[in-house]
Amino acid sequence: MSDATKHVVLLVGSPKGLEKSRSSRLARPVVDGLERRGWTSESLHLHAEVATEEGRERLLGAVDRADLILFAAPLYVDSLPAPAIRGLELIAARQRTDGVERAPRFVSILCCGFVEPSQNDTCQRILQRFADQAGFEWVTGVSLGGGGPISKRARSALGILTEALDLEILVPDEVDRLTRKPAMPRWLYIIGGNVMWRRWAKEYDARDRLRDRPYRRPDS
Ligand SMILES: Cc1cc2nc3c(=O)[nH]c(=O)nc-3n(C[C@H](O)[C@H](O)[C@H](O)COP(=O)(O)O)c2cc1C
């Protein structure tokens, strides 16, 4: 990589992959924005890459080329999907042992299903520790909650993030302000969730079984 051209590597840690996942759809505008500013990019799906020796080599090669690593993943049980963790473990093990001096910057974008973006906080701290141990420069973690399509506010935040990453300046607090607020009130999210459950139940002819508790202990 020449000094003039910067390279961003997008690592997607959702089983839904590079096209269909929400994680990828959130990270894509950042990558596209950096490309418009003259950056080059490559995108890898961690689930696919960690599954083969070739993929694992490709992953580590991509990390070597990166000036910026953009990690985008969903929250799974307050952590990450296992193949995403495996990918990070591979990177950390290699970065620790082969004395790479250059420190790529590292940004994470996490999305979760519950409406509060703060659900991602613990996982962001885990990723910050990962970045430290892998020898990356932690920039920021952007957290988005669930509920509907990607909001206007989130899009603005990603635009500001892109500009800060390109200019290599501190990420403005505005990004946090725009993404911290739940995309909709809790009560509306619950109503929407109930509508969805009823729709799915109808589809599977299980409308009268929504209150079933198949795992309840007989004595409870
Ligand atoms: C197995 C599994 C575990 C999940 N665990 C959580 C969780 O702990 N908290 C949460 O808010 N959302 C959770 N979710 C919801 C996902 O984080 C959410 O749907 C996310 O937007 C999916 O992103 P993706 O399309 O990039 O995979 C979980 C989803 C699945 C399938």
Q: Residue ranges per domain, the chain?
A: 7-183, 185-220
Nearest residue (by CA) to ligand 1, atom 22, is: 74
Strand 105-111: give its sheet, edge to edge: 40-45, 7-12, 68-74, 105-111, 137-144
Q: What is the model's pTM?
A: 0.90
Q: Which of 114-123, 143-152, 205-214 has the weakest average pLDDT?
A: 143-152
What is the fold, at CATH topology level, of the domain defined by 7-183?
A: Rossmann fold (3.40.50)
**Span 121-135, pLDDT tens digits:** 999 999 999 999 999
In terms of C-beta density within 10 A (0-12 exposed, 13-18 middle, 19 or more buried), how is residue 95 classed?
A: buried
Mean pLDDT of 51-79: 97
Is residue 10's pLDDT more than 80? Answer: yes
> Of ligand 1's atoms, which has the minimum distance to the CA of residue 119?
11
Ligand 1 pocket check for 135: Cβ under 6 Å: no
> Of ligand 1's atoms, which has the minimum distance to the CA of residue 72?
26
